[in-house]
A and B are shown apart, each in its own frame.
Chain A
Amino acid sequence: MSIIVTLEKANKYFDDNSVLRDVNFDIEKGEFLSLVGPSGCGKSTLLRVLLGFEKLDHGKMTIEPNLKKTLVFQNFALFPWLTVFENISFGLKMQGMPKVDIDRKVTDILHELDLHGAQNLHPKELSGGMKQRVGLGRALVMDPDILFLDEPFSAVDAFTARDLRQKLLEIWEKRKITVVMVTHLIEEAIELSDRVIVMSSDKNQDSIVEIYTNKLARPRDNRSKEFFNEVDFLETKIK
C-alpha cells in the first residue's frame, strides 16, 4: 500500500500547553486507522491537524496532492435548516455539480444507508442513529480519498453503534477508501482497524506510545479470547 500522509516530529501547543509531542506516523492508502487514547491526549487535535483546521507549531506534515478529505462529526453537525436530502447533497452543490447528477448520487447513498423515505425530514426529526447515517452519507457522497471520523458512535446508543460499525465496515470494504477514526474505545478500534495509534496524555512523554498492527482476521469476533487479549494489551499501553 502507498503512503498518502506522513507526519514527522509534529508538535502543537495551545498557549504553553503541549498538546501534540513529536508525533510521527504514516497513513497508508486504503487502510482503516484508529487514533485511541484518554481524554486530553490530543487525538481530536491530531485529527484537526490532518484535516487542515489546525496548523503545526513544529514538525512537518506531507500529504498527497489533491487528496479529497471528508469528516463525520461526533455530534453529527448536520445543517438544521436543510432536509436529509439537502444535507447529503450540500458538498456536491458547493462543487457546482449538475442537479441531475446530484439527484442520482444522493439517491444511491440514501439507499445504501437505508435512508430512503427520510429524505424530506429535517435533522431534528431524526433519531441519533439516523442523524449519524446522514452524516456518513454527506461524507461518502463526496467520494473521499480519506474519510475521517471523530468519535462517530459516541453520541448514539450501544445497539445503534453496533449497527453503524457494521455499516461502516461494509462501506470501507466495498469502496476501498482510507478511513481514519478517532475513538476512546479500545474494543471499537480493535474491531474495526488495521492499525491503532495509541496516544497518551502524559506530558513527559511523546504523544504516541504505540502503533499497533492488528493481526486479527476479519470478520472479527469481539467476544473471542484473542480479541480480549488484544484489548488487554492495548489497555496496558495506555496506562
Chain B
Amino acid sequence: MRYSHILHKSRGKHTLFNWQSILTVFLILAVFTTVVSLSGTIHLDKIAFVGGLIASLSRVVIAYMIAFVLAILIALIVVSNKTVEALLLPVFDVLQSFPSFILFPVLVVALNNQPNTVIVFVLVITMIWPLLFAIISGIKGRRNDLEEAATVFGAVGLKRFYEFTLPMLMPSIITGSIVSWGEGWEFIIGAELLVHTNFGVGQYLGFLADSKQNQPLVFGIILLLFFLFILNKLIWLPLLHASTEYQADA
C-alpha cells in the first residue's frame, strides 16, 4: 500500500456522549456477554489466547516505537536539504511497495533464527512507511509563520523539537500512527504463522486453523477484532481528536 497521499482528513468529532460512544458501550456489553456465555461451550485455550495476544501486542508496540523514532529522524533528514529530499523520496516511494514477507527467509538465516527479532525487524520495515510519509507531509505542509515565530522567540535545538516541532506535527504523527498500527496488526498475524514462535496470537490462531478447531478459531478472530477495535476507540481516536482540536487557524 502507498502512503505518499496521506492527508489530514480524519478530523471527525470524538466526544464522550455521541451516538458512536453509546454504540461502543453496547457493543462492549454485547461482546462481554457473548464471551461469558460461550466460554463454557467453546474450548478456546484462554492462557494461549491471552498470552499470545500480550506477546503479539508487545511485538507491535516495540516495533511501533522503533519505527516512530526512525520515521521522525529520517523525515527530519529528508526535509533538511532539497538535494537529499530529491534523492531519497523516490527511493522511499519504491521501498514502501516492497513486500516485507520476501525478507523472511533471508532474515531467519541472517538473524540466527531468533523469531522475536525477525518479527520485530520486519514489523518495523512495514510500519515505518505510513508514519514516515505522514510526518514528511506534516513537515512540508507546516506554516512558515509559526516556524518564524518559533525562531524569533528563541526555539533552538532539543527545546525547539519538544516544544514546537513535535506538537506541530502531532496530527500527522497520530494519523500516520493509526495507519501504521493497523498495518502492524495485519502483518503480525502472517508473520507469526510463518516464523515459529512459542507465543503469539497469530501463532495460536494458526494452530487452531491447522487442527480444524473452527469454532474456537472464529471465536478467537472475533475477540482479536474486538480487542483492536477497543484499542482504536480508547487510544487512537481520542489522541487524534486531542491533536487536531486546537489546530484550527490561529
List A residues at the B interface (Cβ < 8 Å). Answer: 51, 53, 69-71, 73, 75-82, 90-91, 93-95, 122-124, 131, 138, 142
Which one of A77, A78, A94 lies within 8 Å of B159 (CB-CB)? A94
Given A94-B155, A123-B246, A124-B248, does the pair A71, B163 have CB atoms closer than 8 Å? no
* B250, A138: Cβ atoms closer than 8 Å: no
Given A73-B145, A80-B246, A124-B248, does the pair A94, B152 have CB atoms closer than 8 Å? no
For B, the interface residue count at a CB cutoff of 8 angstroms equals: 24
* B250, A124: Cβ atoms closer than 8 Å: yes
Q: Which of B119-169 contact A (CB under 8 A)?
A: 143, 145-146, 148-156, 159-160, 163-164, 167-168
Closest residue on chain B to residue A150 by CB atoms: B145
The CB with the most chain B CB atoms within 10 A, among A76, A94, A95, is that of A94
* B145, A70: Cβ atoms closer than 8 Å: no
* B153, A142: Cβ atoms closer than 8 Å: yes
Interface of B is mostly: helix
The CB with the most chain B CB atoms within 10 A, among A70, A79, A124, A131, is that of A79
* B152, A51: Cβ atoms closer than 8 Å: yes
**A-B interface, 10 closest residue pairs, ranked by CB to CB distance from nearest:** A123-B250, A91-B153, A77-B145, A80-B250, A94-B154, A124-B248, A77-B149, A78-B250, A122-B246, A81-B167
Q: Nearest Cβ distance between residue B82 and chain A, in whole angstroms?
A: 16
Interface status of B247 (Cβ within 8 A of chain A): yes
* B148, A71: Cβ atoms closer than 8 Å: yes
Residues of A within 8 A of B248 (CB): 80, 124
* B148, A79: Cβ atoms closer than 8 Å: no
In the complex, what distance in Å separates the CA atom of A90 from the CA atom of B248? 19
In the complex, what distance in Å separates the CA atom of A80 from the CA atom of B143? 11
Residues of A within 8 A of B159 (CB): 93-94
List B residues at the A interface (Cβ < 8 Å). Answer: 143, 145-146, 148-156, 159-160, 163-164, 167-168, 170, 246-250
Closest residue on chain A to residue B243 by CB atoms: A81
* B250, A90: Cβ atoms closer than 8 Å: no
Q: Nearest Cβ distance between residue A95 and chain B, in whole angstroms?
A: 6
- For this complex, 5 residue pairs linking A to B, each with C-beta atoms less than 8 Å apart, are A53-B151, A71-B148, A78-B250, A91-B152, A124-B249
* B167, A79: Cβ atoms closer than 8 Å: yes
In the complex, what distance in Å separates the CA atom of A27 from the CA atom of B143? 30
In the complex, what distance in Å separates the CA atom of A167 from the CA atom of B149? 22
In the complex, what distance in Å separates the CA atom of A79 from the CA atom of B150? 9
Residues of B within 8 A of A138 (CB): 153
Which one of A53, A70, A71, A79 lies within 8 Å of B250 (CB-CB)? A79
Given A73-B145, A77-B145, A77-B146, does the pair A94, B247 have CB atoms closer than 8 Å? no
Q: Nearest Cβ distance between residue B156 and chain A, in whole angstroms?
A: 8
Given A80-B248, A90-B163, A131-B250, does the pair A95, B154 have CB atoms closer than 8 Å? yes
Residues of B within 8 A of A75 (CB): 145
Q: Nearest Cβ distance between residue B239 and chain A, in whole angstroms?
A: 13
Residues of A within 8 A of B145 (CB): 73, 75, 77
* B152, A70: Cβ atoms closer than 8 Å: yes
* B153, A94: Cβ atoms closer than 8 Å: yes
* B149, A73: Cβ atoms closer than 8 Å: yes
Q: Nearest Cβ distance between residue A191 and chain B, in whole angstroms?
A: 26
* A79, B154: Cβ atoms closer than 8 Å: no
Residues of A within 8 A of B167 (CB): 79, 81-82
Closest residue on chain A to residue B250 by CB atoms: A123
Q: Nearest Cβ distance between residue B101 and chain A, in whole angstroms?
A: 39
